[in-house]
Structure 1
Amino acid sequence: MVVVHLPQGSYEGGTQGDVNCYHGIPYAQPFERFKSPKPVTKASTSSGVQDATKFGPICPQNASRLEPHVYGRWPAPPNGGHPDESDCCVLSVYQPESAAQKSGQKLPVIVYMHGGAWQTGSSEINWYTGTALARDGNCVVVTINYRVGILGYMYHQGKDLACGTEDHILALEFVRTHIELFGGDPSNITAAGQSAGAYNTQLLLDLRPDLFERAIIMSSPANMAFTVENGNKIAEAVKSSLPSGQTPQTASVTELLQAQASASVKVGGLAQFAPVIADGKPPGGRHTVKDAASRKDIWVTWMQHDGSAFAALAGGFETKASDELSIKITDDVFKNPSIELAQRLAKAGHKVGTLEHQWTPEGFKLGATHCLDLPLILGDAEAWKLSPMRGKASNEEWDRRGSAVRRAFGQFARTGEVPEVLEGTEIKSIS
Structure 2
Amino acid sequence: MTHTDPNTADPDLADPDLAEPDLAEPGDLVDLTEVGDPTAPAGPPPLGIPTELETPLGTFPAVSGGGVVRVRNVRYATARRFEAPVPAEVRPDEAADRRFQRIACPQPPSPSDELLGRPLRGVEFDEDCLRLSITLPEDAPDEPMPVLVWVHGGSHVSGAGDLAGYDPAAIVREQRVVVVGVTSRLGLLGYPTDDAHPANLGLLDLIAAFRWVGEHIGAFGGDPERITAVGQSSGGDALAHLIAADGARGLFRRVVLQSPPLGIRTGRAEMQQRMAAAAGPLDPEASLDDLFAAQARAKQAAAGSGLRSAMPFGPRAGAAPLPAEGDVEAAWREHAADLDVLVTWNRDETAFFFEVDPKLAALAARPVVGSWLRRLIVARTTNAVYRSGARRFARIAGRGGADVRVAEFDGHPDGSRIGSAHAIEVALLFPATEAWTGTPLLAPDGARTLVAAGAALRAAWAEFGRDGAFPAGYVPTGHGWAGSLLARRV
Q: 1:83 aligns with which of 107, 116, 125?
A: 125
Deviation at 1:393, TM superposition (A): 3.1
**1:106, 1:185 within 8 Å by CA — same for their partners in 2?**
yes
- Distance in 1 of aligned mates of 2:330 and 2:470: 19
Residue matched to 1:253 = 288
State the secondary structure of the residue aligned to 2:441.
Answer: helix
Q: 1:412 aligns with which of 454, 458, 464?
A: 464
1:164 matched to 2:202? The reply is yes
1:94 matched to 2:135? The reply is yes
**1:122, 1:146 within 8 Å by CA — same for their partners in 2?**
yes
1:367 matched to 2:419? The reply is yes
Deviation at 1:150, TM superposition (A): 0.7
Deviation at 1:389, TM superposition (A): 1.6
Residue matched to 1:275 = 315
The equivalences for 1:130-149 within 5 A come to 130-149=168-187
Q: 1:179 aligns with which of 212, 217, 228?
A: 217
The equivalences for 1:112-123 within 5 A come to 112-123=150-161
- Distance in 1 of aligned mates of 2:432 and 2:250: 32
- Distance in 1 of aligned mates of 2:427 and 2:93: 37
State the secondary structure of the residue aligned to 2:125.
Answer: coil
- Distance in 2 of aligned mates of 1:89 and 1:297: 27
Counterpart code for 1:261: A
Deviation at 1:92, TM superposition (A): 0.6
Q: Percent identity?
A: 27
State the secondary structure of the residue aligned to 1:261.
Answer: helix
Counterpart code for 1:40: A
State the secondary structure of the residue aligned to 2:348.
Answer: coil
State the secondary structure of the residue aligned to 2:99.
Answer: coil
- Per-residue Cα deviation, 1:7-66 (whole angstroms, up to 9, x for no partner): 88642111122111111111112x221011111125xx5967824532343111012222
- Distance in 2 of aligned mates of 1:267 and 1:310: 17
Counterpart code for 1:251: A
- Distance in 2 of aligned mates of 1:281 and 1:379: 40
Deviation at 1:231, TM superposition (A): 2.9
Q: 2:360 aligns with which of 315, 324, 338?
A: 315
State the secondary structure of the residue aligned to 1:54.
Answer: coil
Deviates further, 195-204 or 386-395: 386-395
Counterpart code for 1:142: V
> Structure 2 vs 1, CA of residues 308 and 382 (structure 1 numbering), >3 Å: closer, same or farther?
same
Residue matched to 1:422 = 475
> Structure 2 vs 1, CA of residues 283 and 15 (structure 1 numbering), >3 Å: closer, same or farther?
farther
> Structure 2 vs 1, CA of residues 263 and 206 (structure 1 numbering), >3 Å: closer, same or farther?
closer
Q: 1:210 aligns with which of 230, 250, 267?
A: 250
Residue matched to 1:58 = 104
Residue matched to 1:244 = none
1:191 matched to 2:226? The reply is no
How many corresponding residue pairs? Answer: 412
**Structure 2 segments unaligned to the other structure (5+ residues):** 1-29, 31-50, 304-308, 319-323, 366-370, 477-482
- Distance in 2 of aligned mates of 1:39 and 1:358: 41
1:303 matched to 2:362? The reply is no
- Distance in 1 of aligned mates of 2:215 and 2:92: 20
Q: Which has the higher contact order (CA 8 A, sep 6+)?
A: 1
The equivalences for 1:341-360 within 5 A come to 341-360=393-412
State the secondary structure of the residue aligned to 2:412.
Answer: coil
- Per-residue Cα deviation, 1:310-341 (whole angstroms, up to 9, x for no partner): 24413228566953222221111011111111
State the secondary structure of the residue aligned to 2:422.
Answer: coil
1:128 matched to 2:180? The reply is no
Counterpart code for 1:422: V
- Distance in 2 of aligned mates of 1:363 and 1:316: 19
- Distance in 1 of aligned mates of 2:209 and 2:312: 24
> Structure 2 vs 1, CA of residues 212 and 46 (structure 1 numbering), >3 Å: closer, same or farther?
closer
Deviation at 1:385, TM superposition (A): 1.2
> Structure 2 vs 1, CA of residues 285 and 12 (structure 1 numbering), >3 Å: closer, same or farther?
farther
**2:411, 2:425 within 8 Å by CA — same for their partners in 1?**
no
Counterpart code for 2:105: C
Counterpart code for 1:212: F
> Structure 2 vs 1, CA of residues 143 and 258 (structure 1 numbering), >3 Å: closer, same or farther?
same
Residue matched to 2:77 = 28
Q: 2:117 aligns with which of 45, 61, 72?
A: 72
TM-score (norm 1): 0.88
Deviates further, 396-405 or 178-187: 396-405
- Distance in 1 of aligned mates of 2:468 and 2:113: 33
State the secondary structure of the residue aligned to 1:12.
Answer: strand
**1:4, 1:181 within 8 Å by CA — same for their partners in 2?**
no
- Per-residue Cα deviation, 1:211-248 (whole angstroms, up to 9, x for no partner): 010000000011313644433321221128xxxxxx43
State the secondary structure of the residue aligned to 1:108.
Answer: strand
> Structure 2 vs 1, CA of residues 149 and 49 (structure 1 numbering), >3 Å: closer, same or farther?
closer
Counterpart code for 2:293: Q
- Distance in 2 of aligned mates of 1:430 and 1:201: 20
State the secondary structure of the residue aligned to 1:67.
Answer: coil
**2:413, 2:446 within 8 Å by CA — same for their partners in 1?**
no
- Distance in 1 of aligned mates of 2:65 and 2:330: 39
Deviation at 1:419, TM superposition (A): 1.1
Counterpart code for 2:402: H
> Structure 2 vs 1, CA of residues 64 and 7 (structure 1 numbering), >3 Å: closer, same or farther?
farther
> Structure 2 vs 1, CA of residues 93 and 170 (structure 1 numbering), >3 Å: closer, same or farther?
same
State the secondary structure of the residue aligned to 2:387.
Answer: helix
**1:189, 1:212 within 8 Å by CA — same for their partners in 2?**
yes
- Distance in 1 of aligned mates of 2:310 and 2:95: 43
> Structure 2 vs 1, CA of residues 387 and 248 (structure 1 numbering), >3 Å: closer, same or farther?
farther
1:238 matched to 2:279? The reply is yes
Residue matched to 1:325 = 377
Deviation at 1:397, TM superposition (A): 3.1
State the secondary structure of the residue aligned to 1:210.
Answer: coil
**1:55, 1:124 within 8 Å by CA — same for their partners in 2?**
no
